[in-house]
Structure 1
Amino acid sequence: MCTGSCAKCLGVTLIPLAVIGLLANILLFFPGGKTVDNKEQLTDEVLYLGGIIGSGVLMIFPALVFLGLKNNDCCGCCGNESCGKRFAMFTSTIFAAIGVLGAGYSFIVSALSINKGPKCLMKTNATWGYPFVNGDYLNDKDLWKICAQPTDVIPWNLTLFSILLVVGIVQIVLCAIQVVNGLLGTLCGDCQCCGCCGGDGPV
């Protein structure tokens, strides 16, 4: 497969993943599907915006760059037909690295939140806090009774942060593939030129 076509395929895949990350993080602002009185009642990791910034905004730019590589002008440097393509592929590796960082941030935030558990109003002392330690609630649903409010905050947070975790992993893999693909395109060029300089052959 041409390096440009491969990049376009990756870009097409990253767009819906970025949207899923954005939506998942937005829903986390409504624990249990309900609004909270103030942000102090939200789990800290929700406010870190891993899905919005990491898997969302920082992923949109690489995706758009990848999508544009297939149609990038292959003429660009002193009449060298392959120069434009090679430079574009090199640039894509930089954006792919940014994508890896963004997805990695979202992954780490999600993993930390799942391990720590959500903030809730505890029945034991009627205060807001984190009643779970080191993911103990994941294997013992009886502990979930400790949380009085928000209703269903545990399955809500667990589901959405798990989605962000999976999305982050997939995005990291896809961006890592483009790093390799971009380096190959930089060193070897795309499989064919666009023809803007009269060249249709390999570059």
Structure 2
Amino acid sequence: MCTMGFARPLGFALIPLAICCIVANILLFFPNGDNAQYAKDERLTKYVWFFMGIGGGGISMLLPIVVFVNLGKCAARCGTDSCVMCGSVMAALVGLAGSTYCFLISAVALMEGPYCFTDLGWSSPFEKSGGRYLFNRSSWSQCIQPAQIVEWNVTLLSTLIGLSTLEFLICLVQMVNGLVNAVCRPCCYKQEYSLNA
């Protein structure tokens, strides 16, 4: 089907996802939502400083959002639909890269577990567990401070993984849509021309 209207709702769908990614990443700096001291003392998992939600799932989505939402207007001004759709494919690729980055860093951070104070001092007690700690809630009590840091990290990192997966799927759908339209539109114009002739 030769249409570009499909991109606009996809762009709007990315907006809340990008905002939630940014918020989730920011919350990782404040264990239990109330203490910035751990961030100041750099007593957080090192992956928080990779800004996967702020940069990957958030800021990198600005280009796809702007392009997808304004695709129809741009096509009306430019008059070359194929070029516009190719531009949307490039924007979708940026979104795919950002969401992939967010997904991968969040997954690695989730597998490694939080950096916390244990009986042996500050460490990452689950670093070598290969993610098995996720299925053994009784082991979470190894982290004494910050309080409930394991639950906090698991919840937020799982949220980032879910949001980045949705962003990836939306950008993938638009990339396929853009490629199909870039190929399909010239065919449609030929068909319209032959019908009008």
- The TM-score, its normalising length taken from structure 2, stands at 0.88
Q: Could you tell me which of 81, 85, 92 is aligned with 2:88?
A: 92
Residue 2 of structure 1 deviates from its aligned partner by: 5.1
Aligned partner of 1:50 in structure 2 is: 52
Aligned partner of 2:170 in structure 1 is: 174
- Measure the CA separation in 1 of the matches of 2:60 and 2:3: 22
What value does the CA root-mean-square deviation take over the aligned residues? 2.2
- Measure the CA separation in 1 of the matches of 2:170 and 2:59: 16
Aligned partner of 2:37 in structure 1 is: 36
- Measure the CA separation in 2 of the matches of 1:171 and 1:35: 29
Q: Could you tell me which of 151, 166, 189 is aligned with 2:185?
A: 189
- The DSSP-based 3-state class of the residue aligned with 1:128 is strand
- Measure the CA separation in 1 of the matches of 2:67 and 2:52: 22
> 1:190/1:147 Cα in 2 relative to 1: closer, same or farther (>3 Å)?
farther
- The DSSP-based 3-state class of the residue aligned with 1:149 is coil
- Measure the CA separation in 2 of the matches of 1:158 and 1:24: 11
Per-residue CA distance 1:116-148 (angstroms, 9 max, x = gap):
11000112x1x2110012112211111111111
Per-residue CA distance 1:77-127 (angstroms, 9 max, x = gap):
xxxx5xx2211110110110110010000000111111111000112x1x2
Q: Could you tell me which of 60, 65, 82 is aligned with 2:62?
A: 60
What 5-or-longer segments of structure 1 have no aligned partner? Answer: 194-200
Aligned length: 187
Residue 71 of structure 1 deviates from its aligned partner by: 2.1
- Measure the CA separation in 2 of the matches of 1:8 and 1:190: 21
- The TM-score, its normalising length taken from structure 1, stands at 0.85
Q: Could you tell me whether the CA contact under 8 Å between 1:104 and 1:172 is conserved in 2? A: yes
Q: Work out the percentage of aligned pairs sharing the same amino acid.
A: 37
- Measure the CA separation in 1 of the matches of 2:41 and 2:177: 42
Is residue 73 of structure 2 the alignment partner of residue 71 of structure 1?
Answer: yes
Q: Please identify which structure carries the higher helix content.
A: 2
What 5-or-longer segments of structure 2 have no aligned partner? Answer: 190-194
Residue 162 of structure 1 deviates from its aligned partner by: 0.5
> 1:190/1:162 Cα in 2 relative to 1: closer, same or farther (>3 Å)?
farther
Q: Could you tell me whether the CA contact under 8 Å between 1:3 and 1:184 is conserved in 2? A: no
Residue 187 of structure 1 deviates from its aligned partner by: 1.6
